[in-house]
């Protein structure tokens, strides 16, 4: 069987830095497309998985699920894409296509075996998927997204995870005009939450631990900014918000933030801390508050989000790096020292 040679960067254990790694991708099946990767965003989940913080990592692991590139070859039955098209791949590359969630376009909640873009098994149950910190990827075209033409491609890459992760819950809960929305954490996810929520007409307050992010928050559309360490200011925000979008991926105090919600308020978790959080039922019962979670988005909604971004000229704020700097980027990401997403320029690996 012919395989496609690919260059990438891989983690070989939870403690070693990522390093160059040559591997092979499958040859094209009839509905596959071969994508020459141009940019890949660095998501906080990459770091969790590389360092085995969720306890389910396989090595060697090529991370990356915020992929934008150009189609360079198509399988004989591919119809959606042709050679030369710009295409994008997000957090999953296949799904069962038969379960109720897949049929509803909610592939992210597939119960029949979702195939994640990396650190996951393909449908054969034995081939481990490898992600976008690499020169090329082969994906069934049904799981590939179209990219609107006007946006700079390096700024599009983070939309495939950070973008859809925040767009989807804002749409699901119909967040918009008249809503007071808090965005907790102004990182990769948080900055997209601010852009979308304000574009939808909500009144957005950023809650952040970094005083130097205040100006950025306002320029992204937030009307207010509160330093989480400013007890006086935080007190004025208790019982205040209709929704709180919690993007924090480190352990934090759920009870404190639930107290910021008004009656019927909803706290929506989109970050994935690796610890076990505690929660007092009192903060839910008093005020009929709820706490909810949301995972990325399905294929139709991800396409809708990309098209919306194209129309409204919304994209991520990025810092483009050559792949040789990926380990330094991880160290900086842990310190929240990035505005607001690192994106790898794969030209550095070709």
Q: Where along the sequence are the contacts to Zn ion (CB under 5 A)?
A: 43, 45, 95-96, 99, 102, 110, 112, 161
Smallest distance, Zn ion to C-beta of residue 161, A:
3
Smallest distance, Zn ion to C-beta of residue 49, A:
10
Looking at the Cβ atoms of 170 and 189, the one nearer to Zn ion is 189
Smallest distance, Zn ion to C-beta of residue 100, A:
8
Smallest distance, Zn ion to C-beta of residue 239, A:
32
Looking at the Cβ atoms of 45 and 134, the one nearer to Zn ion is 45
Query: 173 to each of 148, 242, 243, 244, 301, how far by Cα in Å?
Result: 25, 11, 9, 11, 14
Q: Token pair of 96, please?
A: 């069962």
Looking at the Cβ atoms of 4 and 96, the one nearer to Zn ion is 96
Smallest distance, Zn ion to C-beta of residue 33, A:
21
275 CB-near residues (< 8 Å, 6+ apart): 251
**Residue 116 in 3-state DSSP?**
strand
Output the 3-class SS for 143-210.
HCEECCCCCCHHHHHHHHCHHHHHHHHHHHCCCCCCCEEEEECCCHHHHHHHHHHHHCCCEEEEEECC
Looking at the Cβ atoms of 45 and 303, the one nearer to Zn ion is 45
Residues 179/245, Cβ–Cβ less than 8 Å: no
Smallest distance, Zn ion to C-beta of residue 300, A:
14
Peptide bond into 340 cis (omega under 30): yes
Looking at the Cβ atoms of 170 and 202, the one nearer to Zn ion is 170
29 CB-near residues (< 8 Å, 6+ apart): 75, 140
Q: With CA atoms as reference, report the closest residue to 158 among 80, 298, 44.
A: 44
Looking at the Cβ atoms of 198 and 249, the one nearer to Zn ion is 249
């Amino acid at each position: 069987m012919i395989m496609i040679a690919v260059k990438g960067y891989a983690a070989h254990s939870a403690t070693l830095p990522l390093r160059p790694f040559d591997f092979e991708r499958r040859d094209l099946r009839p509905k596959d497309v071969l994508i020459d990767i141009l940019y890949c965003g660095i998501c906080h989940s990459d770091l969790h998985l590389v360092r085995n913080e969720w306890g389910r990592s396989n090595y060697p692991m090529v991370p990356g699920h915020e992929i934008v590139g150009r189609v360079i070859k198509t399988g004989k039955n591919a119809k959606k894409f042709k050679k030369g098209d710009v295409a994008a791949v997000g957090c999953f590359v296949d799904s069962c296509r038969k379960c109720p969630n897949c049929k509803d376009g909610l592939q992210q909640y597939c119960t029949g075996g979702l195939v994640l873009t990396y650190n996951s098994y393909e449908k054969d149950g034995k081939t481990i998927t490898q992600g976008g910190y690499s020169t090329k990827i082969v994906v069934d075209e049904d799981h590939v997204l179209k990219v609107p033409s006007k946006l700079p491609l390096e700024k599009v890459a983070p939309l495939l995870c950070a973008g859809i992760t925040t767009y989807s819950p804002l749409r699901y809960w119909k967040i918009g005009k008249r809503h007071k929305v808090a965005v907790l954490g102004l990182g990769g996810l948080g900055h997209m939450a601010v852009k979308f929520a304000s574009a939808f007409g909500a009144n957005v307050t950023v809650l952040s631990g970094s005083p130097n992010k205040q100006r950025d928050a306002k320029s992204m559309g937030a009307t207010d900014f509160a330093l989480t360490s400013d007890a006086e200011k935080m007190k004025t925000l208790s019982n205040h918000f209709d929704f709180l979008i919690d993007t924090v991926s480190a352990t934090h105090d759920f009870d404190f933030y639930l107290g910021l919600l008004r009656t019927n308020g909803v706290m929506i978790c989109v970050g994935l801390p690796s610890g076990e959080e505690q929660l007092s039922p009192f903060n839910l019962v008093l005020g009929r508050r709820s706490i909810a979670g949301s995972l990325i988005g399905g294929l139709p909604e991800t396409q809708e989000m990309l098209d919306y971004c194209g129309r409204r000229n919304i994209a991520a704020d990025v810092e483009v790096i050559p792949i040789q700097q990926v380990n330094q980027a991880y160290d900086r990401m842990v310190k929240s020292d990035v505005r607001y997403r690192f994106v790898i320029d794969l030209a550095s690996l070709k």
